Structures are given as structure tokens and as C-alpha cells.
Amino acid sequence: MQLATFLPLVLAAVVNAHFQLQYPIPRGPFVEDQEPTFCDGYTDAVSNRTVFPLANGVINLNSEHPQWAVGVIVSTQQDPTSFAAFNSSSGYQMAVQFFETSGEGQYCFPIDLASSGVSGIQDGANVTIQVVYDGGDGTLYQCADLTLSANVTAPSNATSTCTNVTVTASGTAAAAAATATSTGGAKKDGIAVSGIVATALMALGLSFV
């Protein structure tokens, strides 16, 4: 129990590899030392938002870790300045459920905000996504401020410069935590919930160890 509470803090101090969001463009230039904190240290939303696909969007990131877990949370506030702004009464608003994959370099995975079920997501809405990444040595965060549009698709260079990741996970982070609790961390929808995903979930306050 004590280890579970203590682990994310200990690991945060020794992060030595990172990730860089390539598309959509993050709130500001990547700041390595700030990445273990909310939105890579950028507290406020920017006004030059990326017009981003309401459905069938894509996230492109550079991973410096060979084995990593990632999930995306979303806020519908105009200027979300804390993790609480990404939360609802039933917990974090998940745009992409946590999944684990492997490989270093530029990776793409799908994000379909229209089907996230989060209230307030619609054509023309301003939202902020926060990419939550964990390569095993601490949880890292980058944000992008968006205006959603039903009329745009991701730019071709966002999807041509990456290796596509197939995301098969579904369900909620809470369900993952519940499953992990009952199985000691075995599976979520047939996908192993490893120590990396567990660490990422714990960093969001979804402790289940």
C-alpha cells in the first residue's frame, strides 16, 4: 500500500526519457523538465487553437521509450488550468482509453472525440486534450488546445510521418481500475493492464493497487 502511494513520486524524480506531441501542436514548445507536470508546465490555454477533426482524428507523438502506455483526457472548458478541469462527477473524461504499446519514434493512434460520450463535445466546440504518457519511469503530460470541426480531416503529414498503432482497448479507466483490482492487474478488455498502465492510472488518482 505504502509503495503504491509512493511510487509515482519516486519515479517522477528520475524521468530520463520523454515524449513529444507532434500533432496536434501542443500549447507551447516542449519543455523537458516540465513534462512531468500538468500540460508540460503550460497552465493556460492558447488562443491560436488547432482546428481539429470532431471525428476520426489522430494523435502523432514521438516516443523516446521502447515500451509505453498512453491515454488522452479531455476538458470542454475554454481555459482548463488544472487536472480537475478534465474531470466530471464520474472521473476523468477519457478521449482515448489507456493502452500499452512498444517502439521508439513517431507513432500515430486514432482519437474519435465525437464518440467519447463527453458532454459538450460538438462541432465548433473549444476543447483541450491532455496526452498522458508513461514509459515506465514516471508520467508525462502535454496539452493541445483545439476547436473541433466536423469539416476537417487531419493533415496528411500528420499521418504519413508515423507508424500507426492499432488501439483495440475500450471501456472506461474506472472499469480498467476495477478489473485490475479484482485480478491483481491482469487484463482490461483482453489487454494486459501492466505496471506502466497502472502507474499512469495511479498518477490520475485512479489508484487500484
Q: What is the dihedral angle through the alpha carbons of 29, 131, 158, 119, rounded to the nearest 10 degrees? A: -120
Residue located via cell numbers 476537417 = 152
Q: Give the one residue of 32, 33, 44, 123 binding ligand NAG; rule: CB under 6 A.
A: 123
* Residue 81 touches ligand NAG, criterion: CB under 6 A: no
Give how far Cα 14 sits from Cα of 11, 33, 36, 83, 117, Å. Answer: 5, 11, 10, 22, 36
Dihedral in degrees, nearest 10, Cα atoms 55, 170, 60, 82: 90
The one segment of 45-53, 62-70, 129-137, 181-189 that binds ligand NAG by CB under 6 A: 45-53
Q: Which is nearer to ligand NAG, 27 or 65 (CB)?
A: 27
Closest separation between CB of residue 120 and ligand NAG, Å? 10
Minimum distance, C-beta of residue 15 to ligand NAG, in the bound complex (Å): 21
The 3-state DSSP class for residue 174 equals helix
120 or 192: whose CB is closer to ligand NAG?
120
Cell of 100: 500499452
Distance between CA atoms of 192 and 2, rounded to whole angstroms?
24
Q: Is the Cβ of residue 105 or residue 124 nearer to ligand NAG in the bound state?
A: 124
**Residues 166-205 interacting with ligand NAG (rule: CB under 6 A):** 205
Count of residues in contact with ligand NAG, rule CB under 6 A: 32
Residue 76 interacts with ligand NAG (CB under 6 A): yes or no:
no
Give the CB-side neighbour count of residue 163, counting CA atoms within 13 A.
8
Q: Which of 23, 42, 109, 208 binds ligand NAG (CB under 6 A)?
A: 23
Q: Decide whether 150 or 192 has the Cβ nearer to ligand NAG.
A: 150
Contact between 63 and ligand NAG by CB under 6 A: the answer reads no
Rounded-to-integer distance, Cα 89 and Cα 193, Å: 24
Q: Distance between CA atoms of 167 and 62, rounded to whole angstroms?
A: 17
**Cα 159–chain centre separation:** 18
Per DSSP, the three-state class of 115 is helix
Using CB under 6 A as the binding rule, the residues of this chain from 87 to 116 that contact ligand NAG are 87, 89, 91, 108
Site residues for ligand NAG per CB under 6 A: 22-23, 25, 46-50, 60, 78, 83-84, 87, 89, 91, 108, 123-124, 126, 147, 149-151, 155, 157-162, 164, 205
